[in-house]
């Protein structure tokens, strides 16, 4: 796998993990409107970044740039 593909996947994983946690942070922030607004804004930005990363990964796959373990996906149907 190319380093740039690994980096895209790794960063997407980080963003998705953060997105999962924001709901918990928002729940904990009840009673502090500034914190609630901050967590909402951060969640929105991370959603945008996750979508950007996801789209770039799709482009790499579509352009044939994305390298992965051929044995792992040898049986995957091609579109």
Per-residue pLDDT tens digits for 14-71:
999 999 999 999 999 999 999 999 999 999 999 999 999 999 999 988 888 777 655 5
Give exposure, 44-72, as e/b (b: 16+ Cβ within 10 Å).
Answer: eebeebbeebeeebeebeeeeebeeeeee
pTM for the whole structure:
0.74
Which of 53-60's residues contact partners 24+ apart within 8 Å by CB, and which partners?
Answer: 53/8, 53/11, 53/12, 53/15, 54/12, 56/8, 57/5, 57/8, 57/9, 57/12, 60/5, 60/8
């Amino acid at each position: 796998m190319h380093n740039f593909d690994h980096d895209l996947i790794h960063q997407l994983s980080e963003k998705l993990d953060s997105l999962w946690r924001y709901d918990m942070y928002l729940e904990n922030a009840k009673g502090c409107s500034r914190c609630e607004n901050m967590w909402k804004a951060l969640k929105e930005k991370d959603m945008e970044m996750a979508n950007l990363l996801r789209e770039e990964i799709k482009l790499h796959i579509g352009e044939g740039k994305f390298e992965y373990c051929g044995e792992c996906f040898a049986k995957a149907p091609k579109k």
